[in-house]
Amino acid sequence: MNHAQARIDESCCLLVVDAQNGFMPGGGLPVADGDAIVPVINRIAPLFANAVITQDWHPADHVSFAANHAGRQPFDTIMLPYGEQVLWPVHCVQGTQDAELHPDLQLTQAQLIIRKGFHREVDSYSAFVEADRTTTTGLAAYLQARGIRQLYLCGLATDYCVAWSALDARKAGFSVTVIEDACRAIDLNGSLAKAWADMDAAGVQRVVASDLLG
């Protein structure tokens, strides 16, 4: 066992964010090169005894869909009671193929799937706290109850759901590492650079898969 592998123990958890058809090429909200993360995740997954998956799970009438706002286009912004909201193309609607996990994802050891974004009136990027910044998903309490102290994050998209999850994980007291080559970004109006700056400032670490595999 090499040094990188030795750091991954029962106190660590792989958090795979939104590796769903909807964010892959051909999906409702495709992230460029999004499907390239799947083989990387599959290579690192066996290092982790603990794994959690998040899944965007929107009702068709979700407030974040541009199609539900007359005269609005995807990537417009509006103000909602909790602040500014980007309007997205319809994606990851509950029960559709678009919302399913990528079929090649190999995470049979995953113990929990956290579904988020199912409240019609509030979006949810983070795996921990919804966009109103008060409604929790329960993930922090689950991880703490299981003795998890360190999270390794990967998935889609780096500058939204991965970054928000990483920042909230730090606020909840976890050590956080983002596996950079197991993520891809939307990069809307400089959002990727801002996300990395925010994560760096919060003490989020970065690695690539080869750092873990040795």
Cis peptide bond prior to 157, omega within 30° of 0: yes
User: Which pairing describes strands 175-184 and 77-80: parallel, antiparallel, or unpaired?
Assistant: unpaired
Residue 96, C-beta contacts closer than 8 angstroms, at least 6 positions apart: none
The catalytic residue among 12, 161, 168, 183 is 161
> 12, 18, 123, 159: which one is catalytic?
18
Q: Is 183 a catalytic residue?
A: no
Token pair of 180, please? 């950079």
Helix (H) or strand (E) holding 52: strand 51-56
Residue 71 exposed, middle or buried by CB count within 10 Å (0-12, 13-18, 19+): exposed
| Catalytic residue status for 194 | no
Active-site choice (92, 116, 154, 159)? 116
- Among 131, 193, 207, CA closest to 168: 131
Active site residue 18: yes
Backbone angles phi, psi at 59, to 5 degrees: -70, 155
- Cβ density class 146-172: b for 16+ within 10 Å, e for less: eebebbbbbbbbbbbbbbbbbbbbbeb
Q: Which residues are catalytic?
A: 18, 116, 161
